[in-house]
Structure 1
Amino acid sequence: MTVKIGIWVPSYAWNLSDGGEQAHRVKRLKDYIVRCEELGFDVWDIDHLLTAPGLYGNAWLEPLSVLTYAAALTEKVMLGTGILVLPLRNPVLLAKEIATLSQLSNDRYIFGVGPGWDPKEFESVGTRISERGRRTDEIIAAVRELLTKDSASFEGEFYSFRDVTIEPRPMKHPEVWVSGGSRVPDENFHDRDFMPKSVLNRIANADAWLSRCSGTQDRLLRDWETVQNHVESSGKPRDAVRFAHCNFIQLSPGKTRAQALEEQRAHAVRAFGTHRSYEHLQECYLLGEIDHQLGRLKELAGHGMDYVVLGPLTDALDQLDFIAEHLQPELNR
């Protein structure tokens, strides 16, 4: 069993009024990225354009900008967006940003993408959430054209361009890792308790499925079986698409389950808000004692997961050391 670890870095966009506090957070982000490089953890960043009261307690800094910053601080680790909400973006501008990041990072970028879920984000940029899947597919296709061809042209439902050349282009197109999965239905959002065929097709044409942490472990494993079956039905080997997972975590070494959950409660509420109960958060995210957290990760690895992106709920550097000490050796036996 070999599971590569990436880390969601703490690019929190807290509503700060104290300039000194802001400087401290930027310094901590820098230290965090450098420590990831030292420990061999890939650097990933989250994309949330706006705050989502009751669901997330904060927004995050713009991810491609953060990863460009990370490229200057690192030399070896991969840099990934987990995930980039594609329907909020213009494909030509996005292709230029990716080309720039790829140039400055020596082609270390992983193009982690998804359709998003927050209606307000779509409204704020003049699109509609009902279009998110179709826009996502068009942008993936358009960006691929732009990053692989001179005088690229594209004609779609939402985006069109002719004879556009992006320079300098990456030496190779970044791997495309696609999110998506079933989720406990919520009347306020457009989530379903199944995986639509359009999502499965998107995953089957990608390099990896970046499964998200928005449901139970059983639902996640059910989704992976669905993905494999769909990949096979499309004429490809079941393992043609890599199984990756992203999840938030907070480690509490030496604590019992009750002690760990009590210690982690305030961090979880600050990060996720109060829309969901703490019990629900425990089902979705990697909370609790280390044996429980490791058990969940090993179960996923037993079903084929070979990459995990972990997001500590605080920017404390000791969380990275805890992951290196308690998780990394057990996931690489």
Structure 2
Amino acid sequence: MEIGVNILGLEALFDGKIRPVLDFAARADRAGIDLICTGDHLGFNAEAHAQRVAEHNFLFPLDHPWYEPISPLSSIAAVTERARLGVSVLIATVRPAALLAKQVATLDSLSEGRAVMGFGVGWQEAEYTATNMPFDARFGRMEEAVAACRELWTNAPATFKGRDFAFENYHSLPLPIQNRVPVLFGFGPSRRNFDRIARVADGWTVNPTDLGTFTDSVALLRNTFEAHQRDPESARVQVSAVAERSTRQRVRRPLGNRRQDPGLVRPRRVRRRFSTCRIRLRCRRTTRTTRLDNQHQGGMTWTGHCRISSTSRQFVRWF
């Protein structure tokens, strides 16, 4: 299992300043975090935003600043050495394929091969209207966009002809450092969507996850990979875990006489002071999580994400 941290909104802990976010990322990288990612929205229609808040408990207010995600990740690339960098998820279909390929290739080059991208189609038509991109048929267009990106990431010159994107004898440099940039799709679990993943992508990113059907969904994803003559164990799964405040009373023991809590498993201890807040990542051992680990370890990549906001300054518990 790999552990990641989502830095979306983290600047709220530092009076809106971005430099402390870079310091946080650098310390998280040194502490052993496997993935640092952020989110993406170009903007909002006020009515659509209000509806999203009411119907889906959308956490971010209308005046929350959404930085273009590749830009801060490129800055983080300069102050980190090992953690992978990505977006969960980037709304790929409001960007032309040539621009999308250039952004990702640049991040992968600056980070020396550490980009891993979650792509989605979003939920808000206003973002498509503002960018003069069609809202209809966006799922199929994202599949085509990734196929076009694969061509641009592999060849110079590159040639591609599709329904929505086409180019011929086109040079787009730099090429990514990685031979194949990992791309995960943020789709709902269905055979049709998993077919799209198996054709052009490398895995599934889910946020939030429905743990009641999660095991069956992962099995379907693997079966779909196998049906497309791809190794089912190569399918990546990235899960966003919900952070919650710990209500458990902390018992302080003298140093040197602290026993391991039998109800907690700590595959990686990260306990550092990050600027104004102290964060401790830990995993609870429960029947549910143990079952998932036992059934789906193999080639799967498990990534938990902790969203850190101004209301979550206390210890964070992972499911």
| TM-score, structure 2 normalization | 0.73
- State whether structure 2 residue 219 is matched by structure 1 residue 225: yes
CA gap of 1:250–1:208, structure 2 versus 1, over 3 A, is farther
- Partners of 1:314 and 1:94 in 2: how far apart? 28
Residue of structure 2 aligned with 1:146, choices 139, 144, 152: 152
- Partners of 2:229 and 2:110 in 1: how far apart? 37
Aligned to 2:116: 110
Residue of structure 1 aligned with 2:100, choices 58, 81, 94: 94
Query: Which letter does structure 2 place at the counterpart of 1:134?
Result: G
* Runs of 4+ deviating beyond 6 Å: 316-319
5+ residue gaps, structure 1, are: 15-19, 183-194, 257-288
In the TM superposition, residue 315 of structure 1 has moved relative to its aligned partner by 5.6
| Kept in 2: contact 1:10–1:315 (CA 8 A) | no
Aligned to 1:160: 166
Aligned to 2:184: 177
Q: Deviations over 1:5-62 (max 9, x none)?
A: 1111134688xxxxx9333xx2332232122212211211111222433124245321
Q: Deviations over 1:155-174 (max 9, x none)?
A: 11111122211122123231
| Kept in 1: contact 2:245–2:312 (CA 8 A) | no
Aligned to 1:37: 29
| Kept in 1: contact 2:118–2:205 (CA 8 A) | no
| Kept in 2: contact 1:29–1:315 (CA 8 A) | no
5+ residue gaps, structure 2, are: 251-281
Query: Which letter does structure 2 place at the counterpart of 1:178?
Result: F
Task: Indicate the SS of the match to 1:200.
Answer: helix
Aligned to 1:244: 238
- State whether structure 2 residue 295 is matched by structure 1 residue 303: yes
Q: Deviations over 1:45-103 (max 9, x none)?
A: 11122243312424532111111011011111111121111101111122222222122
Q: Identify the structure with the greater helix proportion.
A: 1
- Partners of 1:30 and 1:296 in 2: how far apart? 35
Q: Which one has the largest radius of gyration?
A: 2
Aligned to 1:273: none
| Kept in 1: contact 2:37–2:86 (CA 8 A) | yes
Aligned to 1:57: 60
Task: Indicate the SS of the match to 2:3.
Answer: strand
Aligned to 2:40: 47
Identity %: 24
| Kept in 1: contact 2:209–2:240 (CA 8 A) | no
| Kept in 2: contact 1:86–1:135 (CA 8 A) | no
In the TM superposition, residue 300 of structure 1 has moved relative to its aligned partner by 3.3
Task: Indicate the SS of the match to 2:302.
Answer: strand
Counterpart mapping for 1:73-92 below 5 A = 73-92=79-98
- Partners of 1:156 and 1:214 in 2: how far apart? 32
| TM-score, structure 1 normalization | 0.71
- Partners of 1:255 and 1:180 in 2: how far apart? 39
Q: Deviations over 1:162-211 (max 9, x none)?
A: 221112212323122222124xxxxxxxxxxxx151x1112223564233
CA gap of 1:64–1:144, structure 2 versus 1, over 3 A, is same
- Partners of 1:79 and 1:121 in 2: how far apart? 24
CA gap of 1:116–1:31, structure 2 versus 1, over 3 A, is same
In the TM superposition, residue 142 of structure 1 has moved relative to its aligned partner by 0.8
- Partners of 2:20 and 2:186 in 1: how far apart? 28
Aligned to 2:2: 4
- Partners of 2:199 and 2:234 in 1: how far apart? 9
CA gap of 1:30–1:297, structure 2 versus 1, over 3 A, is farther
Q: Aligned residue pairs: how many?
A: 269
In the TM superposition, residue 297 of structure 1 has moved relative to its aligned partner by 4.2
Superposed CA RMSD in Å reads: 3.0
Aligned to 1:70: 76
| Kept in 2: contact 1:79–1:110 (CA 8 A) | yes
